[in-house]
Amino acid sequence: MKFETVKTVILIVLIATSLLLTFGMWNYQPNYKSLNNSPANATSLNGSEEFIWTLIEPNQAIFHIGNHHYGFSNPHDCSSFFQEIKDWGLNDFTTEDTTVEADSPSDYDMELRFPTPLPMEVMDGIFKLNTSNVDLPTWSFEEVYYSLNEDSQTVSVEFLSIDGRAKATAVIEEKNFYELLQSYIDPVDLMELALFNEGASDIYIPKDKVSLSRQTKTVSPIEPNDLVDVLFQDPSIVRQSTSSNRGITYFTDSSQLRVTQGGALMEFVSPAGDIAEPLFAEDLLNKSIAHINSYSGWTDDYKLMDINVNYNYISYQMHYLSYPVFGQFSTLEQIWGQRLIEYQRPLFRIDNDNFLNENTVELSSGEDIIYYLTSDSNYELENIKDIQLGYQLNYKSSERLAVFDPSWFILYGSDWIAINPYEEEINLQGGD
């Protein structure tokens, strides 16, 4: 009897042990060592928080006075001006199709030009729209035109579609805003612009020579592991490989993050998140901004550069001293589906308080640039889409230095090219 009792107890123990082992096998997960043990939602790159209305700005405000054209001598003044006028209430907002040929830009008193066509659906996230229950159209605009109405002392505002087939109009009714805009239209306080009208569209650039500072700044690295925690759904299963040709690669079965250019550039790809269908522009903006805000990823001064809903592509351009910066280390670029598919960004931030040297560079006048472009047979003028002053960012990885070289740049086809009438041009940055 005692023997039977012992057998029963042993059998019960074996069954219990078997159940425990089976349960453990069902719930077992490989315990890869995490590359960074901090939870993803705690990761921060210590950048700023941005919004649609802080990331979208015109790259130019042009004042037309008779047959002459003027602009701000410093892009920071243009930015401050826009931050002021975007909050002027727009009343009586209406949209309409138009078959009438658009007025010449010089028929308006002032125009704002944005760096990329903007869908009207984001317009009320940038400007103050006083008209309620408005169905915003689906077309895009790139310029906004302002006209002073002397009799009523109001300001007419017009958004023209990029194909010229539709427009939206509104009125700024406050007299003090009329007077303030009128006060800006004064040649004494502005810089005269030269017109280049042989490209894809009319382009206005500073007429006279411009002097900008060439600066060398120190930079602080951004740790790739911080981005691993942000970009991979489960950082604990991420593996790492290193090669002399490809740099460092962090990867899972479905995603990879490559660190190249001596640790200065990051390229993330997650092919499993294929693009299902184009996103609305506002959804694309909100997804992208919220994502970068979630880890304080705006580590330098960035502005919207391009948005293409056909490919769910969006990019932001670095600015330095309020001027646009060009080169492979100057942009944040993303492609979205239901989640992030591709992401490229620099892995350093500029140390604004530390610079090693500075000297002033005098650049060619706008008139000289126009002469150079029109007399050089290497350029097909209809392919010139924009001309800007800005900085070329040259990064020295071994010394962790960023050199900002002032230059003229042209958008030739889909490529930004640094030009100098006396030097060989350099192809800096391709389009998407």
Most distant CA atoms of the chain, gap in Å:
117
- pLDDT values of the chain reduced to their tens digit, one per residue, 432 residues: 443 443 344 344 434 444 443 334 334 333 333 444 444 456 899 999 999 999 999 999 999 998 999 999 999 999 999 999 999 999 999 999 986 666 666 689 999 999 999 999 999 999 999 988 888 999 999 999 999 999 999 999 999 999 999 999 999 999 999 999 999 998 888 999 999 999 889 999 999 999 999 999 999 999 999 999 999 989 999 999 988 777 899 999 899 999 999 899 999 999 865 666 788 899 999 999 999 999 999 999 999 999 999 999 999 999 999 999 999 999 999 999 989 999 999 999 999 887 788 899 999 999 999 999 998 768 899 999 999 999 999 999 888 999 999 999 999 999 999 998 765 444 455 444
Residue 79 to residue 60: CA distance in whole angstroms = 9
- Whether residue 390 is contained in a domain is answered as yes
The SS3 assignment for 355 reads strand
- Whether residue 56 is contained in a domain is answered as no
The SS3 assignment for 103 reads coil
Q: How far are the Cα atoms of 54, 69, 207 from residue 363, in angstroms, in the given order? A: 30, 20, 11
Neighbours of 321 (CB within 10 A): 16
Same domain, 103 and 172: yes
Same domain, 363 and 342: no
229 phi and psi, to 5 degrees?
Answer: -65, -30
Same domain, 235 and 304: yes
Tell me, letter by letter, the H, E, C secondary structure of 249-309.
EEECCCCEEEEECCCCEEEEECCCCCCCCCCCHHHHHHHHHHHHHCCCCECCCEEEEEEEC
The single-letter DSSP state of residue 80 is H
Of the candidates 13, 82, 56, the residue with the CA atom closest to the CA atom of residue 306: 56
Parallel, antiparallel, or unpaired: how do β-strands 323-326 and 384-396 relate?
parallel
Same domain, 323 and 408: no
Residue 349 to residue 427: CA distance in whole angstroms = 24
- Whether residue 381 is contained in a domain is answered as yes
CA angle 38, 44, 46 (to 5 degrees): 145
For every residue of 142-173, DSSP letters joined together read EEEEEEEETTTTEEEEEEEETTSSEEEEEEE-
Which CATH number goes with the domain that contains 239? Answer: 3.30.310.160
Task: Write the CB contacts of 304 (distance below 8 Å, at least 6 apart in sequence).
Answer: 55, 56, 57, 115, 116, 285, 314, 315, 316, 317
Residue 278: domain span: 217-348
Same domain, 225 and 303: yes
Domain boundary pick from 313, 330, 348: 348
- Whether residue 94 is contained in a domain is answered as yes
pTM for this predicted structure: 0.86
Residue 46 to residue 55: CA distance in whole angstroms = 18
- For the chain, what is the domain count? 3
Beta carbons of 425 and 417 less than 8 angstroms apart: yes
- Whether residue 358 is contained in a domain is answered as yes
Domain boundary pick from 320, 348, 376: 348
Residue 149 to residue 171: CA distance in whole angstroms = 10
Same domain, 332 and 227: yes
Same domain, 221 and 342: yes
Same domain, 232 and 343: yes
